[in-house]
Amino acid sequence: MHANERRVPALGALIAPFERRSEPGAWNRFAAVNDEFVAIHMDDDAGRQAGFPSAFGMGNLQLAYLHAAVRQWMRDGDQLTAVTCRYRRPSLKNTQVVARGLVTGVTTAERETTIELEIWTEDEMGTRLSDGVARVRRRR
Amino acid sequence: MREACGRAFAGSESPPISAADIRRWAIAVYHPETPPPQFWDEEYAAASVHGGIVAPEEFNPFAWTAALDHRASREGPRSAFVEQGLGIAAPVCEHDLFGGVEIEYTGERMRPGDVIQSRSRLRRYWEREGSLGLMLFTETEVRWTRASDLIKVQRNVMIRY
């Protein structure tokens, strides 16, 4: 196989998942670095008052998990150029958050390849919590 | 409120980013596993393509700066920061959620010692009926720079109801 072929992923390829437990210990660690001590992420009553069954994890933490999933798939020298994320459902207490990605586009130019991925988070039942797109620049 | 669309509502400068700030962020995101060494191992990072420790792309150097600003100069709910910055009345809503985000990264990475500037403006408001009632959507745009280097442009959607 030619070296450049190894650097171009196949359409439809899945990236390795990045999976974490959605629970107060994880939320507290993230709140501590992002100053996100917001009641809906700390207090079940506040979560219920907001219309959900319990307190729930931060959208910013799901966004960080999506970044982590793409980063662990990226190669040395790759550059993350864009990430979008739309939140569908909150990550409820004591569930799993699984960040996933799928290669949906590959555009090859003379010096670089642009790879587009559909990215999303889901719970352990496969219910989507968020979805979006990531774009990665890979030099040839 | 719609007349305020396009106007700047906030600007800030971060304190210098420390290696400990980056390490703690990475630990929080990767817990319970050890984060990748480019975020905390000086020797490893020096030999990497980055030539030194870099922050994860999503790292926020403004977190506690914003908290200090909020406590020092603002009253009312945290979700009213846009209208407070614009000097207009905030909508009366009990709850707020983070609706989504679009980020464009330039490739400039945040590193220890960097001081980051942030400028935010209101892009638009719109309303939509949702499962929890009538909801107000607010889209803002924030640009982060290090001196003249643009690091990222991020558009955020906040949902209030």
Entry pTM: 0.92
User: Which of A20, A51, A84 is nearest residue B101 as measured by Cβ atoms?
Assistant: A84
pLDDT at A56: 95
**Tens-digit pLDDT profile for residues B117-159:** 999 999 999 999 988 789 999 999 999 999 999 999 999 999 9
Say whether pLDDT at B67 is over 70: no
- How far apart, in Å, are the Cα atoms of B135 and each of B114, B131, B138? 38, 9, 10
pLDDT at B24: 98
Contact B100 A132 (CB under 8 A): yes
Q: Quick count: other Cβ atoms within 10 Å of Cβ B89?
A: 10
Question: Mean of the pLDDT values across residues B21-25?
Answer: 98
Contact B95 A67 (CB under 8 A): no
The nearest alpha carbon in chain B to A46 belongs to B95
The nearest alpha carbon in chain B to A84 belongs to B102
Q: Hey, where are the domains in chain B? A: 2-17+77-160
Q: Is B66 on the interface with A (CB under 8 A)?
A: yes
Contact B98 A83 (CB under 8 A): no
Homologous superfamily in CATH for domain A3-139: Hotdog Thioesterase (3.10.129.10)
Query: Kind of pairing, strands B133-146 and B149-160?
Result: antiparallel
Q: Is A60 on the interface with B (CB under 8 A)?
A: yes
**Tens-digit pLDDT profile for residues A28-74:** 999 999 999 999 999 999 999 988 999 999 999 999 999 999 999 99
CA of A97 vs chain B CAs: smallest distance (Å):
12
Contacts A27 to B, Cβ<8 Å? none
Q: Is A71 on the interface with B (CB under 8 A)?
A: yes
pLDDT at B19: 98
Contact B27 A40 (CB under 8 A): no
Global ipTM = 0.93
pLDDT band at B46 (very low <50, low <70, confident <90, very high): very high
Per CATH, domain B2-17+77-160 is 3.10.129.10 = yes
- How far apart, in Å, are the Cα atoms of A114 and each of A22, A109, B119? 32, 8, 29
Q: Is B95 on the interface with A (CB under 8 A)?
A: yes
Let me know: does B82 contact B2? Beta carbons within 8 Å: no
pLDDT at B70: 53
